[in-house]
Structure 1
Amino acid sequence: MSSSSDDDAPLVNNKANGAKSADHIPKSVDQAMDKGNPSSSRVMPGVSIRMGPVEKMDVDKLETNGHANGTGNGKRKARSSATNGKSYKETSASEDEDNVPLTKRRRTAPAKPGSLSSSELSDVPLAKTTLKKPPKAAAHDIGEESDSDVPLGQKLAKEKANIERRAEKEAKAIRAEEKKTTTTKQKSKKAKDDSDDEALARKRKTPAKKKANGVKKDESDDDDIPLRKKAPVNKTKAKSGPTTPAKKGKKAVKVEETAEDLEAEEEEEEYRWWEDPTKGDGTKKWTTLEHNGVVFPPPYEPLPKNVKMRYDGTPVTLVPEAEEVAGFYGSMLNSTVNIENPTFNKNFFSDFKEVLDKTGHAKDKDGNKIKIKDFEKCDFKPIFEYYDAQRAEKKALPAAEKKALKAAKDEAEAPYMYCTWDGRKQKVGNFRVEPPGLFRGRGEHPKTGKVKKRVSPEQITINIGKEATVPAPPEGHEWKEVKHDNEGTWLAMWQENINGAYKYVMLAANSDIKGQSDYKKFEKARELKKHIDRIRKDYNRDLKAELMADRQRATAVYLIDQFALRAGNEKGEDEADTVGCCSLKFEHVTLRPPNTVIFDFLGKDSIRCYDEVEVDPQVFKNLKIFKKSPKKEGDEIFDRLTTSALNKHLGSYMTGLTAKVFRTYNASWTMSTLLREMKSTGSIPEKVKDYNDANRKVAILCNHKRTVAAGHAGQIEKMQDKINGLRYQQWRIKQMMLDIDPKLKKKRGADYFQLPTDLDEDWIKEHQAALVEEQRVKIRKKFEKDNEKRVAEGEKEMKAKELDERMEAADELEKKFKKENKTKKIEAEGKGPTVDKMEANLDKLTQRIETMKLQTEDKENNKEVALGTSKINYIDPRLTVVFSKKFNVPIERSFSKTLREKFDWAIKSVDENWEF
């Protein structure tokens, strides 16, 4: 960098509350920096070359409030539990903040400036000095050929540039068409008005003719009559068709309705709200609302007297409140990912001690008080063994008993499953209050392990219609408050104790209200395509603005648009150190010349976001200016920009435009472009893989990432085992062919009949044992199912002897495998076995193997890419429907039953020719 005095001049004001950027940026600073970095010509942004986080991120040790800097909260998805069904986040993923009462919205406060030691801006990437980089994404991770001569980053960056150029071209075309249409309408309206004026003038001059009965006949038609004054149309007659003319003195004969007429009537009963453009406008969400409240978790059942936690080897007695908390930890000793986490253990024991201090700690068998001080001396194993035995017992229940228990539970919860919303029955998404337990969190959450307290009725606010009957709270309790807020879509709410966040009972994902919310979200993204070229042109211009606030805003919009960074919000002191674009701090961004930016921070849900991206040289230069000394760790980079100011600026382009709309637009537009170019052929699995490859590109280009699931390696191993099992079947069939015709070995060569080298004898014996056990399980399940049927039909159950007889088939299979292993010969099976039949079976197995290989490859490629996030939240579901109809792929292959219900409006509203 140039040593010019202008360049060295401070561009920040060093105030008492931390360094803040200066108001303006002198042109001399830009010029000096350009000299230091001659390659300042504009380039298209690259794509992330990291798909992290893969390895654990180093985090500060916990101190006050569960975090080194005193922060300890963050947004996260509510975790499902055995008694909780779907999470609230899943059931209200598309709800806007508008549905939250103003009085309950989170108050934000500026973050306190960092107190860490000062560090000068360095061009040496942080990743090279202190952090390990996650491994690079391989070419196959996005469905590309690994032997391509073009580097992956260049290939996708080029594709992204082409997509953006097409977006610019389409935006201009849409606006031109709208302008043309508007002009045509104006001309048409003027011509009609002139024609009406002339007609009215003629009517005034021409006297009306009279009929014989003396009634005036109006020569004009009823176009001038307001619609509400026109005679009503007889819909029944119109729908039923012409009736037979009535003869004198006889009643008219009614035409019978056909099956088609009845079907049409049924269709009319379905509320197709997406075809009613006026529905959902305004702030009033409902006129009448009735529901039955919420379901509380069952009260705590104390442990048997012989099951006790041990402290320093001594069994101790706890009061029920403390015993319940001990049980939270004891029941999950098999969850090593949590109990081996020091943060989880520290937070749990801190909360556990609070309860112990309140309840008087523990007592031994003689009633002597024992004060529990050390976590290491606590032994929760007896509690775990009790709960683990209960789980095993429940799992071992006969299918009929499980079914009866579920039926009883469903019957008890039935009144809460639906509400009546404006006279229509709507399913409630989650009517169960979250049970108490230990907070897990996602990623490196600083509050993991803390105790989620039991929610009482006194904490819950009910939202219901004024005329409706308020649901009764549990006996001896009362609701915190009853509201009649028809501008909100929530039915009940309460504040949880971990993060202070409000939990809401909302309608189910497949309800009209949820569907309308999703529909409006994607329509808003569709509207953005008309303005995207102007927005990009403006922020590229303002990247060189002299006003610091304008330059920071333009840089932020660039990062949000090009790299799908979330906007980020100001947070209070008690929240987790999760950030977005506007709240990035000095230490979160490292610059590597000539134009690589390294982002490393905790993003949404406390998941580490690590990205290395190539940016426009002007953006690189701007970030260097924003980080200029005396800024240091803890200082914000975009210190003259807030999320509200950013969204207010975006709203000037288009009503309702906010930073989050860019993620939806970019994902949907990218998928739309890829679908236009897609020429998917082959089998259904091959077509599904083509769709997933496109979805994967969207996820990478739009920066949708996830941590690798803990069980991913095991799942891949199981899939590979299934493939190996099919290969073993193929080998057995080939041996049967030799049994039928030994001469085949000479004709086809010995290699054709060889056992695959990776399937050794040990693997074969293990696999054979698994096949025998699998058959035993199937026989046992079939026996139980047959018995259930007999009981239901009033017949006697079959005796255990019948099961033993059925098990003989598995015993025979086991004997057959032992004989094959001993004699090294496999006899042909089946009725009238022939070589042709065996070859047909081989072909079927080959097809199954290829399908499973595709599925395994797909799963492996997706391990670090959040395809579900893209498909459910950001890609317009109508595009998935277009793919399904265009390439004749059943929608079930893309959308699960839950998603088909959620996106029912999308499935029914478009055909293969629809475009985003």
Structure 2
Amino acid sequence: MSSSDDDAPLLSANRSTGGARSEKIISKSTDTSMGDEQTENGSLDPGVSVRFGPVGDGDVEMEDAVNGANGHTAGKRRARVSSGKQSYAEPESSEDDKPLNKRRRISTKTKVESDSEEDIPLARKTNGIRLPKASETAIGEESDSDVPIERKLSKQKANIEKRAEKEAKSIRKAEAASSAKKASVTAGKGAVNGKKQKANGVKSEEGAGVKKTTKAIKDEPATPVKKGKGKATPVKEESEEVEGAEEEEEYRWWEDPTKGDGTIKWTTLEHNGVVFPPPYEPLPKNVKMKYDGEPITLEPDAEEVAGFFGGMLNSTHNVENPTFQKNFFEDFRAIIKKTGGAKNQKGEPVDIKVFKKCDFKPIFEYYEMKRLEKKNLSAAEKKAVKAEKDEAEAPYMYCMWDGRKQKVGNFRVEPPGLFRGRGEHPKTGKVKTRVMPEQITINIGKEAQVPAPPEGHRWKEVKHDREGTWLAMWQENINKNYKYVMLAANSDIKGQSDYKKFEKARELKKHIDRIRNDYQKGLKSELMVDRQRATAVYLIDKFALRAGNEKGEDEADTVGCCSLKYENITLRPPNTVIFDFLGKDSIRFYDEVEVDPQVFKNLKIFKKEPKKVGDEVFDRLTTSALNKHLSNYMPGLTAKVFRTYNASYTFATLLKDMKAEGSVGEKVKQYNDANRKVAILCNHKRTVTAGHANQMEKLGDRIKGLRYQKWRVKMMMLDIEPSLKKKKGAAYFELDEDLDKEWIKEHQAFLVEEQKQKIVKKFEKDNEKLAAEGEKEMKPKELDERLLVLKDMQAKFQRENKTGKVEAEGKGQTVEKLENNVAKLEQRIENMSLQAEDKENNKEVALGTSKINYIDPRLTVVFTKKFNVPIEKFFSKTLREKFDWAIKSVDEDWEF
């Protein structure tokens, strides 16, 4: 598609318009002067990261990645976890909240070949993140272990793309033939029969595609269900008739072709509003912040804000951040002034001017004491507190949506506090004010009873917006964003949103060849706007870049493809592009990729003088203009659909070629292999967490502990039957070399301490049970007697270390029982070793991001049914509820 210069998109007011602009028309002299870059390897399959070296012909042979067994990873993309202690006031933020200067550093010694100083990546001009060596991120035990898997997947990605283009043509051809055939049949038979055709082949009495099956209130089937392909079928119809009046029918909305087509989302809506945080409880009179060493009295509103800061003193990466301190102190002073000022012990006014003179430690110590008190409550007391809270919140947890009981998502109004933000957010540290009922708008049905606001208050407004899926909303004071109370992730409405998202990606499958052909042609267009647009679509499709939206001056400086600035892209001949920018959630995106020579050439043109640092690369393109262009291929197509499509189609292709065999654990391994490849191919990466090495060390110690335990069991076999040494051979009973005497003594001490903790915990639990039943608690003497077993353990270990022999433990012990124990330990060792490998392999790959957000969940369901693997191996209970529609709607033959 081409456009005239008049079609060049207008830049929004908050994009830089004062900088240098690209030419409207790319002159032949400009086009020629940039020259076509020639790749060194002769053939090019761009599309995956080459941070650790170019992709060569010898690197494209595919090898399976060694992986783990559980497939359970965090859904949200994370980076390094703070090394500081967890704040009791709020959970410590992950590295998503961490400034860039506190994350990994890139070595500044690396020399970058570039034409000018401006082409040096932003991170190499400053103290950036240190990129790991290839050996640190290589996945699996490969023959050439320093070659990361990214370099081995390039060819496979190119093949998948070719396969997709052929499939798209085939689908369109088949649909055209089918449409023609249906039109012919309808024309021939419709007039003869004089009968109206059934929509989608569904009987009218079933409600236009809505299949009615009974479902118990507690999500348990009302009748036994036959297992097999296709949809679940109740065994006895009589049972349905008897229990139907008492049970709620399961609404299989994904089988209703008419649902969600219009703008009206509901007809009737009833709910009980929102839950407000408890009012502020003033500090005891003896607990005060200090200013210049003197205790200060503040009004409750100001004291509460002082408590926000004092309560999080152990969140060092926040409270020691200069921007955080500056923003907090400005708001703090304003609130002190508004509430009547601060006073000393004599009642004299104190002007709080200098932040460094403020001492919040007394407040911190008080809140820390309260936190420990809460932690030390007995199990019965904690249970009672939780039960009381649950009872109070129960009315707000569900709403009635078109007569169906639906779970509400977050019905709690966010409490006041200090805004943290993500990355280097310019507003971090500002005070989030308490949300009052007068700020909240309620959305509810006209006939429903409006929930009563707290006494003495009123709602801002009550609406009856049937096109909206929100129950309540308000505007927060920091970024002026609107907050909404919505239905829970496992509700019909949320499920429909996910369903539509993946169906849109499936629709893209039909058009991907035309889109790719068009942007390849557009890469050489004479019009700058067309060439910039084609280049942007190429980068979004190949490297999963987000489109990016314009930002205001007071927002975090995050960018996407369309808003990339001059300094965010470095060009290294012949065809390597280095991206370095703050992406979504202020998480730093750094990658080196090989691109098509024409794309490299275009980026040189987009960056050519007089452009400089601060100017936009795609200055004649906006996100809205890009999405408008994409919608010409199919309704609703936007840049973000490419991420979902590429991940789902890649996984679907790998699934078709998969032959999962062996145990459940081995099948899960193969699923994780495919998931990992998708994460790499689609550039779903994360920063290695700060605690990764420590976690791996602990996991290694646990594995060594099991191996030591296995050796002890084998030695017990010798204690019972010494002749086994000849039968099985001396090697069978030898201790592993890495289990040296020093480690064994440390491990034995650990085992003794572990047993002590178990005994103490059991004693406390037994006492709590006695107290709850009104009986007399046991005395400390009972605990001392129970702990005597530890002396026996220590004496036993000392004898074993001295003699090298282990006595058989337990009554009636036999060699056969001990051999079974050895087999069980070996299985545990194998499983834990797989977990360790999986954890190491995934340290820079965000498997959860791919599996939960981008791979169609129905593909995971197909895998479980095709290879007979429990769905629990891949989806937690929460995810099973969220993707209930996917689990129930497909069989093993379904295709993306």
Query: Distance in 1 between the 2:431 and 2:260 partners?
Result: 40
Aligned to 2:397: 417
Q: Secondary structure at the match of 2:590?
A: strand
CA–CA separation in structure 2 for the residues paired with 1:676 and 1:589: 37
**Are positions 1:691 and 2:671 aligned together?**
yes
Q: In structure 1, how many angstroms separate the alpha carbons of the residues matched to 2:92 and 2:258?
A: 31
Distance change in 2, residues 1:329/1:724 (3 Å)? farther
Q: Which residue of 2 aligns with 1:907?
A: 887
Matched, 1:156 2:153: yes
Shift in CA distance, 709/805, structure 1 to aligned 2, threshold 3 Å: same
Q: What secondary structure, in the 3-state scheme, does the structure 1 residue paired with 2:20 have?
A: strand
- Whole-Å separation in 2 of the counterparts to 1:414 and 1:25: 64
Shift of 1:912: 1.4
CA distance in 2, matches of 1:413, 1:125: 52
Could you report, residue by residue, the CA deviation over 1:90-140 in whole angstroms, capped at 9, with x for unpaired residues? 9xxxxxxxxxxxxxxxxxxxxxxxxxxxx9685665665554551255586
Q: Does 1:24 align with 2:25?
A: yes
1:374 to 345, 354, 367: 354
- The structural deviation recorded for 1:164 is 0.5
After superposing the two structures, state which structure 1 stretch, 145-154 or 303-312, moved more.
145-154
Structure 1 residue 189 corresponds to structure 2 residue 186: yes
Partner of residue 132, structure 2: 135
Determine the C-alpha separation between the residues in 2 that align with 1:655 and 1:225.
26
Question: Would the alpha carbon gap of residues 276 and 38 (structure 1) be closer, same or farther in structure 2, given more than 3 Å must change?
Answer: closer
Q: C-alpha distance in 2, partners of 1:231/1:602?
A: 54
Give, in angstroms, the shift of residue 636 of structure 1: 0.9
Share of identical aligned residues, percent? 73
**Cα offset, 1:788, TM superposition:** 5.8
User: How many angstroms apart in 1 are the aligned matches of 2:805 and 2:795?
Assistant: 14
**5+ residue gaps in structure 2?**
1-15, 53-75, 97-114, 207-211, 214-235
Query: Equivalent residue for 1:274?
Result: 254
Structure 1 residues 248-271: Cα deviation after superposition (integer angstroms, max 9, x where no partner): xxxxxxxx9744766899998111
Residues 303-318 of structure 1 mapped to structure 2, 5 A cutoff: 303-318=283-298
- Tell me the residue number matched to 2:481: 501
**Whole-angstrom CA distance in 1 between matches of 2:343 and 2:28:** 75
Q: TM-score when scaled to structure 2?
A: 0.82
Alpha-carbon distance in structure 1 between the residues aligned to 2:884 and 2:274: 27
Select 1:330's aligned residue among 310, 333, 344.
Answer: 310
Q: Distance in 2 between matches of 1:267 and 1:698?
A: 42
Structure 2 counterparts to residues 289-300 of structure 1, below 5 A: 289-300=269-280
1:549 alignment partner, one of 507, 513, 529: 529
Structure 2 CA distance for aligned equivalents of residues 84 and 167 of structure 1: 47
1:356 matched to which residue of 2?
A: 336
Residue 106 of structure 1 corresponds to: none
Cα drift, residue 368 of structure 1: 3.8
Q: What TM-score results when the alignment is normalised by the length of structure 1?
A: 0.80
Distance 1:194 1:257 in 2: 38
Aligned-residue offset at 1:762: 4.9
Could you say which residue in structure 2 is the equivalent of 1:207? none
Q: Is the 8 A contact 2:77 2:846 kept in 1?
A: no
Secondary structure of the 2:474 match is strand
8 A contact 2:312–2:364 mirrored in 1? yes
* 1:637 CA drift (Å): 0.9
Whether 1:630 aligns to 2:631 is: no
Structure 2 match to 1:722: 702
Aligned 1:851-890 pairs, distance under 5 A: 851-890=831-870
Question: 787-796 or 693-702: which moved more?
Answer: 787-796
After TM superposition, the structure 1 = structure 2 runs for residues 68-107 of structure 1, keeping only pairs within 5 Å, are none
Q: Secondary structure at the match of 1:612?
A: strand
Instruction: Indicate how the Cα distance of structure 1 residues 294 and 741 shifts in structure 2: closer, same or farther if over 3 A, else same.
Output: same
Q: How many residues align?
A: 803
Partner of 2:596: 616
* 2:687 aligned to which of 701, 707, 717: 707
What CA deviation, in whole Å up to 9, does each residue of 1:325-371 have, x standing for no partner? 22222222333333343433343333333333434554333334443
How far apart in 2 are the matches of 1:367 and 1:888? 75
- In structure 1, give the amino acid aligned to 2:657: E
Q: What is the match of residue 212 of structure 1?
A: none
Report the counterpart of residue 174 of structure 2 in structure 1. 177
Instruction: Please give the per-residue CA displacement for 1:832-888, whole angstroms capped at 9, x wherever unaligned.
Output: 333443333222111101111111221222222222211111110101111111222
Please name the residue that 2:462 is paired with. Answer: 482
For 1:540 and 1:473, the matched residues in 2 are separated by 59
Residue of 158, 161, 165 corresponding to 2:162 = 165
> How far apart are the structure 2 equivalents of 1:231 and 1:695?
41
Q: Deviations over 1:690-726 (max 9, x none)?
A: 2222112111211222233344333333322321221
Q: Which amino acid aligns with 2:45?
A: M
Deviations for 1:163-191, whole angstroms, at most 9, x for unmatched residues? Answer: 10111111111111101101111221222
User: Per-residue deviation at 1:385?
Assistant: 2.2
Aligned to 1:202: none
Q: Check conservation: 2:134, 2:147, Cα contact below 8 A.
A: no
Amino acid of the residue matched to residue 35 of structure 2? D
Compared CA separation, residues 359 and 263, structure 1 to 2 (3 A): closer
Q: Which amino acid aligns with 2:34?
A: M
Q: Classify 1:558/1:121 alpha carbon distance in 2 versus 1 (closer, same or farther; 3 Å).
A: farther
Q: What is the aligned partner in structure 1 of residue 425 from structure 2?
A: 445
In structure 2, do the counterparts of structure 1 residues 505 and 225 end up closer, same or farther at CA, with 3 Å as the change threshold? closer
1:517 and 1:81 map into 2 onto residues whose CA distance is: 35
| One-letter code aligned to 2:419 | F
CA apart distance, 1:277: 1.1
Q: Which moved more, 1:178-187 or 1:30-39?
A: 30-39
Written as runs of structure 1 = structure 2, the 5 A alignment for 1:677-688 is 677-688=657-668
Unaligned runs of 5+ in 1: 1-14, 52-74, 91-118, 198-221, 240-255
- State how 1:729-808 maps to structure 2 within 5 Å: 729-742=709-722, 753-783=733-763, 785-786=765-766, 803=783, 805-808=785-788
What SS does the corresponding residue of 1:490 show, helix, strand or coil?
A: coil
**Secondary structure of 1:20's match?**
coil
Further displaced range: 496-505 or 508-517: 496-505
Give yes or no for contact 2:718–2:725 (8 Å, CA) kept in 1.
yes
CA contact (8 A) 1:426 1:507 kept: yes
1:3 counterpart residue number: none
Which residue in the other structure is 2:107 paired with? none
CA distance in 1, matches of 2:91, 2:266: 26
